[in-house]
Amino acid sequence: MNPFTIRPAGVVVLFAVIGILSATFAVSPPAMLSRPGLSVPSAAPEGADRYLPTVIDSASVAPTPAPEGMAWIPGGEFSMGSSDPRRELCGGNEPMEDARPIHRVSVGGFWMDRTEVTNAEFARFVAATGYVTFAEKVPRPEDYPGAPPEMLVAGSIVFVQPREPVPLGNALRWWRYVPGANWRHPTGPASNLTGRDREPVVHIAYADAEAYAAWAGKRLPTEAEWEFAARGGLTGQRYTWGADLTVEGKWLANIWQGAFPHQNDAGDGYTGIAPVASFPANAYGLFDMSGNVWEWCSDWYRPDAYALAVKAAGGGVVRDPRGVAQSESYDPAEPGMAKRVQRSGSFLCTDQYCTRYMVGTRGKGAPDTGSNHAGFRCVQDVAKR
């Protein structure tokens, strides 16, 4: 379906742009309860939004040897979600209700890539398989009826920094569909991967990430696995490292400092993507679980997924959740479009606009939508080895 869709007004809209908007920067305040049956709570039940201690399964011992580049994530039980009360434009100026209620979840042990998949790693996959990513393929006319032929060109979504302040309600002011942008050319045809071997690969559609994972003998993490791993054994912290955004004046993730989107102060040392592992790892040895690039999870997105999971579990511990069915996926910002969960936030996230680098918060994206701030990492089951 990427990259175009026809809106009722007859205007060709860059579908991929819209996808990424809703993934990270909603265009307009979504009507959170616009779909019958949605059970997102408007307010947490008394006492429901609280974190209980993370408990690690003492029998969950790391098998040896460790797969190269992967960290052992022991099984255990934790409180999943976020009760952060702040409102923000990227979530539709709503409290982050889709990360509620906080609920108990258990996961088994697994291996997880210590870093986002890098350009060098993805290049090895492509060299071995000849794989062509979604963004490198010319959109087929039959998939985009009514789209002008000149618009059917291969490309992807790139952040273009405005020179002046722009209304934060219109993310099209800083996102562009750039013909020729893809993982080999992160910011457009004139860019390349020289000096970027250690940067995370970007412009990756969900199917691209899945294909890489299958080749590597791995898979994409579930959302619960991702959050359990990101929390690093801590209980109910706002960030992967603790309670405060900065520690002793230092930034611990590659996000955005300055007035978004026109002023990038790079207080963390990076205006754009950073090489993976440029910031400290969490307690499990995982890097960039907050910021740098967004990461695909295997769950289909739905804002009330947690409430549904708790209900299905009879109010008890939700065990190894896998998310809702594709047919049940729903994004109030773009009804009718099934989306996958994305986590971590990116170098474009800021405490002034989109704080989804906070560990319990959720993002989402259309599976066929890549951009220059979204990538992935993989996990591996013990039985697979």
Residues lying near Ca ion in the complex (CB under 5 A): 254, 268, 270, 288, 292, 344, 347
Q: Under a CB-based contact definition with an 8 Å cutoff, are residues 175 and 168 in contact?
A: no
Comparing CB distances to Ca ion, the nearer of 223 and 334 is 223
Comparing CB distances to Ca ion, the nearer of 25 and 347 is 347
Residue 107: CB atoms within 10 A of its CB come to 26
Q: Under a CB-based contact definition with an 8 Å cutoff, are residues 206 and 368 in contact?
A: yes
Q: Under a CB-based contact definition with an 8 Å cutoff, are residues 119 and 197 in contact?
A: yes
Comparing CB distances to Ca ion, the nearer of 103 and 356 is 356
Q: How far is the CB of 273 from Ca ion (least distance, A)?
A: 9
Helix (H, G, I), strand (E, B) or coil at 342: strand
Q: Under a CB-based contact definition with an 8 Å cutoff, are residues 202 and 119 in contact?
A: no
Q: Give the Å distances, CA to CA, from 271 to 99, 232, 265, 268.
A: 29, 27, 7, 8
Q: How many CA atoms lie within 13 A of 99 on its CB side?
A: 31
Q: Under a CB-based contact definition with an 8 Å cutoff, are residues 203 and 370 in contact?
A: yes
Comparing CB distances to Ca ion, the nearer of 168 and 274 is 274
Q: How many CA atoms lie within 13 A of 58 on its CB side?
A: 0
Q: How far is the CB of 357 from Ca ion (least distance, A)?
A: 8
Q: How far is the CB of 291 from Ca ion (least distance, A)?
A: 6
Q: Give the Å distances, CA to CA, from 13 to 8, 99, 157.
A: 10, 29, 13
Task: State the greatest distance between any 2 C-alpha atoms of the chain, in Å, as a whole number.
Answer: 60
Q: How far is the CB of 225 from Ca ion (least distance, A)?
A: 15
Handedness of CA 208, 212, 215, 218 (dihedral sign): negative
- Residue sitting closest to Ca ion (CB): 344
Question: Within the chain, where are the H helices?
Answer: 15-24, 119-129, 206-215, 223-231, 305-312
Residue 343: CB atoms within 10 A of its CB come to 27
Q: How far is the CB of 116 from Ca ion (least distance, A)?
A: 5
Q: How far is the CB of 161 from Ca ion (least distance, A)?
A: 12
Q: Under a CB-based contact definition with an 8 Å cutoff, are residues 312 and 219 in contact?
A: no
Q: How far is the CB of 24 from Ca ion (least distance, A)?
A: 12
Helix (H, G, I), strand (E, B) or coil at 90: helix
Q: How far is the CB of 345 from Ca ion (least distance, A)?
A: 7
Q: How far is the CB of 292 from Ca ion (least distance, A)?
A: 4
Comparing CB distances to Ca ion, the nearer of 2 and 257 is 257
